[in-house]
Amino acid sequence: MTMILDAALNPAEIENLPSRDLAGTTCVVFDVLRATSSMITGLANGVAEIHPAATIEQALALRAELPDAILGGERNGDRIEGFDIGNNPLEYAALRGRRIITTTTNGTVALRACERAGRVLVGALLNVAAVAAALAGTENVLLVCAGTFETFALEDAIAAGELASHFPGASLTDAARACVASARAFASPLDGLLASRNGQSLAGRGWRAQVEWCAQLSRFDSVGVMTGGIIRAL
């Protein structure tokens, strides 16, 4: 069996995912700066479960159902007014045992767009090797690059390319090959993230440490799997 690797590279493609037949596909969702990196950091540090919400309204409705949950998320990079935490991965490292509801501009939207897939995994540079191990024996994989607002995000393609590089015998679509080329274009993941629009924006706001955190390759063995709209450690 040869693995087939494809990629969705921008939000316009992601918007169409709910109408596709993905029953036989494993989707790996990347929003490296910063949603999926925050989720993986949280899961690796004992967060019990994460509920991704596509909108602020959905997050607030979930909070009404789960009043003990931590409410997190961002819009335009900033913590949403009235929410407990934002989208800084280091905030998620200190929430062992807690349940988190989160909504972000792109990452949580991408995750919810994939919920009809056969399997949905949460990917980041932080857990590339662990995701690769979890994909062993999988036939159809879609690398979902969440993007920024309505556009392609370089950092997501870099992470997707790092993952694709673990499968030299796979059959890659042109979109997946573009991800591999993005990863190979830089001497290190950090160089790539700092070259990206999001990386430059975060560093310019004094948040370079968050970029450096998200650029760590395979720091964690944790893989998040989304089932029934809830992400838990695999």
pLDDT at 1 over 90: no
> Residue range 17-28: average pLDDT?
97
Strands 171-172 and 70-75: unpaired
> Residue range 1-20: average pLDDT?
96
pLDDT one-digit tens code per residue, 145-156: 999 999 999 999
Residue 8 to residues 21, 138, 177: CA-CA distances in angstroms? 14, 18, 12
In CATH, the number for domain 4-225 is 3.90.1560.10
Give the integer Cα–Cα distance in Å for 217 and 234.
19
pLDDT at 221 over 90: yes
pLDDT one-digit tens code per residue, 161-199: 999 999 999 999 999 999 999 999 999 999 999 999 999
> Residue range 82-103: average pLDDT?
97
